[in-house]
A and B are shown apart, each in its own frame.
Chain A
Amino acid sequence: MNHLTLGKKRAFSLWLGALSIVFGMLFSATPSLAASPSPSPSTSTEQLLIKGTIKNEGEPVAGVSVQITGNGVDAKATSGADGKWVLEVATKGVYKVEILLDSLPEGVGLRDPETTVREANLTATNTAAVLFPLGKDLRVVQPIGDQIIVRVFSGLNLGLLLAVAAIGISLIFGTTGLNNFAHGDMLTFGALFTYLFYVVFEWPLLIAATATIALSALFGWSQDAALWRPLRKRRLGLNQMMIVSIGFSIVIRYILLLVFGGETKVISGEFEAVVIGPINTTVNSLGSMGISVITLAAVALFLTRTRIGKATRAVSDNTSLAASTGIDVERIIRIVWVVAGALTGLAGILYGLQFQANWMTGFQILLLLFAAVTLGGLGTALGATVGALIIGMVVEVSSLIIPTDLKYAASLIILILVLLVRPQGVLGKKQRIG
């Protein structure tokens, strides 16, 4: 420890202080969560429960069966009059819960018809909620042309969402060289705080979203101020910083688990369905796509037209040259962290409003984000967008050919294959691979 100067120690205690602020902020949110009527973690006993509620358009549905398998268990549970089903299991582990489609009432189907099997993860928690949102029965076999249109639409939707989150990674990598493994958890942060504000506090969506984005931006700012800037001043190597970001991502993830519990949260509520040709979608998905496009356009304008945006690109291109032309590099990096935090928080909101979210959500998306960023070319914002769209398409369209549970694997294999042929990515410059 003799090499430590006082300044570094102070920087670290600063960082610890910031961490304790985050802790404090999160723990102060706990009582309000526990007081809410929504599923509160029943962690007082050592009972292990897998449970869920079957609802169709807000109304509970009785008599729907789910089959739960795994860890030696093979049991059936059926929803009661309140739509609730529950099964007690003896051992911790991951269970598969399959909804038995035949037990659904006539004309009712899954909102996501492909996901009849979901996972109940009881490794870290005592209760796991598994939800199967219902809607109109979509089980009619569509002609292949329609199926492709539907998949491409979903791919576009996922791709745009990924693009919003991936730009943050790309900007951070471009300006600081850091591959931020905690980025996925920033997305979880956005999704879960939307849940807190919108579902638990019942704030109007716009206010809840604004508050979440502000908090996410603050989170980005404080990460840089308390952790990354002091580490940059210590001249910590980039690979070391990458491992630090892994440690940090584990810390964030488990804090979020402690505060929000392990249940999967449904944030979407009931949104109006929209039918366009063969595509069945909802207002929130369309809205999310619109917001993503506007955001991406705004980021593109910011990077190409504003002074700060141009300075950001200059720092990405060559930090020392940028500094010698009078650009305040540290200020630019701080701005990048705030923007990245806000964008990723927004992606979290959009994700949460369309899909379910839990404490693991972001980490599961992280690899797709890395795939997108690497595919597009590390450090180029436009590349990240292109890469994200490709990854979104691959994930959704590939499930026409391969089993659905391998669709993420397909996108990661694409990543590995692209690196074989074109290591710098689709739009990257060759010298970047070094």
Chain B
Amino acid sequence: MDWLNIGSLALGELFSPFTATFILCALGLSVHFGYTGLLNFGQAAFAAVGAYGMAISVLTFGLPLGLGVLIGLLASAVFAVILGIPTLRLRADYLAIVTIAASEVFRYFMTTIGFAKVTGGSNGLSQFGEDFWAANPFAEGTYGFGPFMYRADELWIRLVAFSIIALGAVFVWLLMRSPWGRVLKGIREDEDAVRSLGKNVFAYKLQALIIGGALAALGGMVFVVNLSNVQPQSWGTTFTFMIWTVLLLGGAATILGPIVGGMVFFVLLSVTQGIMSGLVEIGALPFLTLPQVGQIRFLLIGLALMLLVIFRPQGIFGNKKELQFNG
């Protein structure tokens, strides 16, 4: 087994744009779930709305990418309002069902042939990120050391993605230590108590939904700019539940949780996949084939989600007292 290769592949996941996507989405989900207690099972849709909003404004309306990003963020805010108004007054499990339903509805609308002129249908859209790659300040060549060797464009997207994460993390940290953030935590702990203090709980929840959704939208944009295409099938429920696993692994009501959780999650996933593929290649797991190893990785995500919630709901960093999952 090629341990060196497995190790360097795994370390490569640390700063991959894919990891960055899930960190951003999980950071948004920590605002929703960790700090406000909203069970949002449609986080993939927020990312998708952002990504599609950006891609469509560039391709259909010919706007510059920077404006597209703003429109994507705006679209995710509108989505949050549309979703929030009927559901934020409901009990937590209703919110869960409605958010997952809404995210699937959005995916159906992006897939349908009827809107294919704008959305690209199931083929999706591509060639909207040219402005981004053109703005790359790094000259051609490779940068870095050891397992962290990147080409100029690879370095560029990583730099941008992790700068967004840093800014986002500081933003959330500042928000949560403000009076506004304390009200959110109050809502998580006891909604009625906060309401009796004269706070408009609904408005606070809606604001939290918008802010968390905007972070996910940024994550979605990183995801599609890196892939150079946006396709409806990427944003299924698996995407959402991977975000949940990342968040619960790191710790829901923490700032570092989503970041470290995302890194640990994808490194572990890469290591297990590498080891299992190696074992299959040397014939140690005769009942498995190589493609099945890829399937087992999703099985492990499911198992990790179960075990985390059962045995360590606070994740790596969280404080158990902060996470009673009120509903």
Contacts and interface: CB of A to CB of B under 8 A. Distances in A.
Nearest to A409: B108
Contacts of B309: 236, 240, 243-244, 247
B104 interface: yes
Given A367-B101, A406-B109, A243 B244 contact: yes
Interface in A220-268: 231, 234, 236-240, 242-244, 246-251, 253-255, 257-258
Contacts of B299: 250-251, 254-255, 258
B87 interface: yes
A254 B295 CA distance: 7
A433 B292 contact: no
Chain B, interface SS category: helix
Interface string A359-382: 000010001001100100000000
Given A43-B292, A371-B101, A406-B108, A251 B303 contact: yes
Contacts of A423: 89-90, 94
A27 interface: yes
A201 to B, nearest CB: 20
Contacts of A237: 324-327
Given A250-B241, A412-B105, A367 B92 contact: no
Contact of A239 (B89, B92, B290, B305): B92
B100 interface: yes
A81 interface: no
B234 to A, nearest CB: 9
B294 A416 contact: no
A124 B295 contact: yes
B291 A367 contact: no
Contacts of B281: none
A406 B111 CA distance: 9
A161 to B, nearest CB: 19
A420 interface: yes
Given A247-B304, A409-B105, A419-B90, A254 B296 contact: yes
Contact of A374 (B89, B92, B94, B237): B94
B101 A415 contact: yes
- Minimum-distance CB pairs A-B, first 5: A250-B302, A247-B305, A247-B306, A254-B299, A409-B108
27 contacts: A46-B291, A71-B123, A94-B122, A119-B122, A123-B233, A236-B310, A239-B92, A239-B325, A242-B93, A243-B305, A244-B309, A246-B241, A247-B302, A247-B303, A247-B304, A248-B306, A249-B302, A250-B241, A250-B301, A254-B299, A367-B100, A406-B114, A412-B101, A415-B97, A417-B86, A419-B87, A423-B94
Interface of B: 39, 41, 86-87, 89-94, 96-98, 100-102, 104-105, 108-109, 111-114, 122-123, 231, 233, 237-238, 241, 244, 248, 287, 289-292, 294-296, 298-299, 301-307, 309-311, 313, 324-327
